[in-house]
Amino acid sequence: MSNPLANDNAETGEGAEGLSGHSELSALWRLWNAARGARPMPARRDFTPELLRPWLGNLALIDATAEPVHLQYRLVGTHIVENLKFDPTGKGFEDFVVDPANNPLTQGLYRCLLSGRPVFEVVRPRHNRFFSFDYNRLSLPLSADGRAVNMILMGEYVASRGPSGGRSDRRDDRRDDGMAKIWI
């Protein structure tokens, strides 16, 4: 299968070589690329629910700002919520992830925000009770003004399930409300 990110009118972004093995995320990237046209990135308004229907359960919309750097879930698909075992809608990443800009669980999203380019990655969480699986993630930048990323369209699919059932040793930071932050 040819690499869908390798064409003359699109920047490939990070991790493009792995995307060719994932048909759903390859199709999502092609939709994003078609919506952006000659622009560096499309806007949220370029995507209707009807266009996104094939991926809806595996999508998240993440509000993003670069100054200060901040990511917050706006909408989260049902499959992502099922995998996380909680609904992060309305929460900033710092609410449940230790050092989110440098945490392997979330750093690809921050790279997408700061570079303004797509990032494909296979995330392999280690040492936490929430994840017993690897997953494929495609982070696609969106821009209301055509220059600055103000939202990320994230597609995420489970790649493989591990034997741990989601339970293993992990480092976390406990908060007063009892919620643990994840460090993988």
Domain ranges of the chain: 16-183
Q: Residue 180: how many CB atoms within 10 A of its CB?
A: 16
Query: Shortest CA distance to 123 belongs to which of 70, 80, 61, 178?
Result: 80
- Domain spanning 16-183, CATH class: alpha beta
Q: For the chain, how big is the Rg over CA atoms in Å? A: 16
- Alpha-carbon span 94 to 2, nearest angstrom: 37
> Can you give the pLDDT of all 184 residues of the chain as single tens digits?
333 343 323 344 665 566 777 889 999 999 999 999 999 999 999 999 999 999 999 999 999 998 888 999 999 999 999 888 889 999 998 888 888 888 878 889 999 999 999 999 888 776 555 556 788 999 999 999 999 999 999 999 988 655 444 433 333 343 344 444 344 3
pTM to 2 decimals?
0.79
